[in-house]
Amino acid sequence: MVQKFKEHVAAAMPFLNGKKLLLACSGGLDSVVLAHLCKALKFDFALAHCNFSLRGTESDGDEDFVRELASTFEIDVYVKQFDTEQYAEEQRLSVQMAARELRYKWFDELLQSKRYDYVLTAHHADDSLETFLINLSRGTGIEGLSGIPQVNGNVVRPLLPFSRNEIIEYAKSESIQWREDSSNASVKYLRNKIRHEIVPGIKELNPTFLQNFQHTQHHLRQINDLVNNHLNELKSKLFQQRKDKVQIKIAELQKLQPLDAYLYGLFNGYGFSEWSDVKDLLAAESGKQVFSKTHRLIKDRQSLILAKIERKESEAFEIHSDKAIDELPIKISLEDVETFEKQGQNVVFLDKEKLNFPLVLRNWKKGDYFYPFGMKGKKKLSKFFKDEKMDLISKEKQWLLCSGDDIVWIVGRRADERFKVDGSTMKILKITQFP
Amino acid sequence: MVQKFKEHVAAAMPFLNGKKLLLACSGGLDSVVLAHLCKALKFDFALAHCNFSLRGTESDGDEDFVRELASTFEIDVYVKQFDTEQYAEEQRLSVQMAARELRYKWFDELLQSKRYDYVLTAHHADDSLETFLINLSRGTGIEGLSGIPQVNGNVVRPLLPFSRNEIIEYAKSESIQWREDSSNASVKYLRNKIRHEIVPGIKELNPTFLQNFQHTQHHLRQINDLVNNHLNELKSKLFQQRKDKVQIKIAELQKLQPLDAYLYGLFNGYGFSEWSDVKDLLAAESGKQVFSKTHRLIKDRQSLILAKIERKESEAFEIHSDKAIDELPIKISLEDVETFEKQGQNVVFLDKEKLNFPLVLRNWKKGDYFYPFGMKGKKKLSKFFKDEKMDLISKEKQWLLCSGDDIVWIVGRRADERFKVDGSTMKILKITQFP
């Protein structure tokens, strides 16, 4: 068995010889067998272990195990702890996707800083089949069925042609120890069901099922390459660069059949996901927009305009109580008054003595919070914007009137509790926003 | 349940109303339910039943059942018997593929001659899933995973979104009778294994598995459309029409990545299947050819030439013993001799009195046979050619020397036993072929 593995790697990945390799090692069966294989091949390799801190002491046990393995092999080991859940929340990713991003980001850093040539991961044929079936059960496209290639840039997967059983055999024949992996429970449930209840039957359909499956995935990846070539040709024809924007003639898009698939193919790289909105845009009135996290598509007469959403440096304007305020980006007036009426959307009454002049008018920034008028306690602006169902552009356009660091008024939307007029107020300032 | 089916057809296939429909009816559960559904929808339809003669009396029982059904419904029924096994052998197809070809060919004839608008078939969601898994087990490309669309030209599949269980429920709720289908045993084995052992588990992975699966197949078909658009654009750029041939610059082909996938995509429509041969052709010496059943690809200096294989009408030349034979397409001499030597590849000795003049020199035609020299009994020429490993072009170029209908000599290869010189021979004719 060991011989078979060695021969495959020697034949399929001769370029690994003499290179500096970084082996992603969880401590589980697959990556530990891969480590032993690299040792048997006399490769120049180190271990890299991600501690995602998702399973408490169990995670730490895995880390110890990998450190121990490296020490036995007398090779380097890199370990990094991640706060996966926080990152997932911040980036609005699933925990799995977050772990994946963190992992590959760190590997890239290590490749660069420590001058490694390749990252080796221990994916095998059953992983591919299980992922295929998971994606199939959820509904997927060609990418979800195509699987991962054995060599993808500087990421290499030496075990990809081998089945889990072959890897277990390898481990047994060499009396290799490993850590039982108990990752994300819900994923594990689905994967385990597939592994134990579906895959054995499927493999029985054909004695060479796993090989055939690999050929199928290879074909699908090639088909995907063809599609990408096609879409890139199409983009270079249809996407006309205009300074920092791209203009696309709608009439040209309309010629494409099947339109849905083309719209998806042309724009999914820009983060769009609401396909019916994108499609509707073709027939919408001029000025209508659709947003992704990073881009916007604007209907502009006979064209669509694709533009990056600029996260421009926030501008800030000072407002002196006694100065003309013509140069402001919005039209507001400040007025000392004797009495106050009810706050309105475009009018606020403030306790002037609680304010520090000059006031500042600025856009929102991450971490902003305020004390909503009429409520107890503070609220993050991001939460407020979400509750108000504001889109990205509206959020960026939103002006905040501030006293020092404190938000006084979310202009045109909500005043702050801290600056309200109360029984002890001596001077009332009325601020009005004009359309 | 009936209502659900009716609503789907009404909503998804409004174009069927008022049209003349031909329902492909095997007598099995699916097509019988479809017949009842058409009846419930008050469609104008007839039944078409193929008797593939593959299961003896059982096939005939199915036929009777379908005739009976049509008579109950008071609608027309068309029945045709096919000799599937013979057709499969003739066309070198699997029995399944042969049945499929025969069936759709006949439907097309009926559509034309009887002026029907659409053929309805009873494929359902489980059929698609089973076919997907069968193809997956064997290894496949995107076509093998994409499934069939609900409407494809004039073939419509009203039951495609429904599961087998829903169809059974329909049958039960209406007390519908059907014939149990026992088709091709080996296929049935695989399909049954998939149906009973794999599919139930797979469906449990996700409560909406079948719907998701249909979306996946829809995406794959769209991707396939994109690929075909891409390949057609490429063909119109690279394939230069030269009278009855197509010229393709090899340098242009070499630019394509992934090359394998492009060669497959560009040439598989012309029947080629030996992809390594096609690929090797790019670097082969000028004059080298690769053949499919219908086409040949010729390396011609910096280009590939794609040409149809012409099955030209066989030419025939008469050979009179006493006449100059300069006008023949090959160079042969006839000579009366006293003694005979051993037959050679290019020399034969014949009993002149057994021959009928003028002899005829012609190409081979289907059904040709001869009595190989030195052997007992006759042999089909097709068999002889195959044993000689002759390619299509060589077969077409092969000249046969004939006496009346009888083959005397497969020129340059093998003489016929019937015309050999023996003890009673009075006149010996020596025929020599010159290069």
A336-366 pLDDT per residue, tens: 888 887 777 889 999 998 998 888 899 888 8
Is the domain of B415 the same as that of B303?
no
DSSP structure class, residue B397? H
Residues A274 and A420 in one domain: no
B381 annotated as ligand-binding: no
Q: Do residues A53 and A174 both lie within one domain?
A: yes
Point out the domain boundary residue: B160, B187, B207. Answer: B207
Shared domain check, B407 and B331: yes
The kind and range of the H/E element at B332 are: strand B331-337
Helix (H, G, I), strand (E, B) or coil at A327: coil
Is the domain of B341 the same as that of B296?
no
Residue A244 CB coordination number (10 Å): 8
Q: Do B261 and A219 touch (CB under 8 A)?
A: yes
What is the predicted pLDDT for the residue at B293? 80
Q: List Cα–Cα distances, B427 to A2, B320, B333, B375, in angstroms.
A: 76, 16, 16, 23
C-beta atoms surrounding A316 within 10 Å:
11
Distance, C-alpha A345 to centroid of its chain: 36
The reported pLDDT for the residue numbered A394 is 75
* CATH code of the domain containing A338: 3.50.40.10
Say if residue A155 is in the same domain as residue A181: yes
Instruction: Tell me how close the Cα of A195 comes to any Cα of chain B, in angstroms.
Output: 11
Residue A226 placed within a domain: no
Does some domain include residue B217?
A: no
Q: Please tell me the predicted confidence (pLDDT) of residue B184.
A: 45
Higher pLDDT, A88 or B129: B129
What's the domain range around A170? 2-206
Q: 């690299």: which residue's tokens?
A: A38
**Interface contact flag, A212 B139, Cβ < 8 Å:** yes
Tokens linked to A313:
């440096």
Answer yes or no: do B75 and B192 share one domain.
yes
Inside any domain, residue B222: no
> CA-nearest residue of chain A to B233?
A230
Q: What angle do CA B134, B138, B140 make, to 5 degrees?
A: 95
Q: Across the interface, do A205 and B223 touch by the CB < 8 Å criterion?
A: no
The partner residues of B177 in beta bridges, in order of sequence, read: none
Closest partner residue to B230 (CB to CB) among A137, A213, A229 is A229
Q: CATH code at A297?
A: 3.30.465
Helix, strand, coil % in chain A, rounded to nearest 5 = 45, 20, 35
Domain count, chain A: 3
Q: Listing from the earlier edge strand, what are the strands of the sheet with B118-120? A: B77-81, B44-51, B20-24, B118-120, B155-156, B151-152
- Chain B hits for A193, Cβ within 8 Å: 201, 204-205
Q: Is B79 exposed, middle or buried (0-12, 13-18, 19+ CB in 10 A)?
A: middle
Could you read off the pLDDT of A212-234 as tens digits, one per residue?
A: 999 999 999 999 999 999 999 99
The angle formed by the CA atoms of residues A343, A345 and A349, to the nearest 5 degrees, is 30
Q: For residue B141, list chain A residues with Cβ-Cβ distance below 8 A.
A: 216, 219-220, 223
* Of A206, A228, A254, the domain-final residue: A206
Task: Report the SS3 class of residue B348.
Answer: strand
Question: Do residues A66 and A143 both lie within one domain?
Answer: yes
B383 occurs within a structural domain: yes
Report yes or no on A212 lying in a domain.
Answer: no
Is residue B271 part of an annotated ligand binding site?
no
CB within 8 Å: A140 and B219:
yes
User: Does residue A233 form part of some domain?
Assistant: no
Burial of residue B177 (CB within 10 Å: 0-12, 13-18, 19+) is: exposed
A225, A224, A130, A142: which is closest to B218 by C-alpha?
A: A142
Question: B372 preceded by cis ω (within 30°)?
Answer: no
Report the residue from A136, A204, A262 with minimal CB separation from B213: A136
Final residue of a structural domain among A249, A283, A308: A308
Q: pLDDT per position in chain B (435 positions), as tens?
A: 899 999 999 999 999 999 999 999 999 999 999 999 999 999 999 999 998 877 778 888 999 999 999 999 999 999 999 888 888 888 778 888 888 899 999 999 999 999 999 999 999 999 999 999 999 999 999 999 999 999 999 999 999 999 999 999 999 999 999 998 765 445 577 888 999 999 999 999 999 999 999 999 999 999 999 999 999 999 999 999 987 789 999 999 999 999 999 999 999 999 898 889 999 999 999 888 898 888 999 998 899 999 988 766 567 888 886 555 667 778 888 888 888 877 778 899 999 989 988 889 998 888 899 999 988 899 999 899 988 888 666 777 789 999 988 999 999 999 999 999 888 888 899 998 887
Which 3 state secondary structure label does DSSP give B320?
Answer: coil
Residues of B within 8 A of A260 (CB-CB) are 222
Q: Is residue B140 part of a domain?
A: yes
Mean pLDDT across chain A: 90
Burial status of residue B379 (CB atoms within 10 A of its CB: 0-12, 13-18, 19 or more): middle
Residue A71 and residue A201 in one domain: yes
Chain B neighbors of A138, CB-CB under 8 A? 206, 212
For A259, the closest chain B residue by CA position comes to: B222
Residue A147 counted as an annotated binding residue: no
Determine, for residues A213 and B136 on separate chains, whether the beta-carbon distance falls below 8 Å.
yes
For residue A215, being part of any structural domain is answered with no
Nearest CA in chain A to B225: A258
Selecting from B197, B215, B262 the residue whose C-beta is nearest the C-beta of A139 gives: B215
User: Are residue B362 and residue B298 in the same domain, yes or no?
Assistant: no
By C-alpha distance, the chain B residue nearest A140 is B216
Say what the alpha-carbon torsion angle A369, A370, A372, A375 is, to the nearest 10 degrees. 90
Distance CA A174, CA A291 (A): 55
A-chain CB neighbours of B257 within 8 Å are 225, 229
**Cβ atoms of B43 and B21 closer than 8 Å:** yes
Residue A46 sits in the same domain as residue A186: yes
CA–CA separation, A331 and A432 (whole Å): 8
- Best B142, B197, B228 member to test A by mutation, with max A CBs in 10 Å, is B142
User: Does one domain contain both A89 and A198?
Assistant: yes
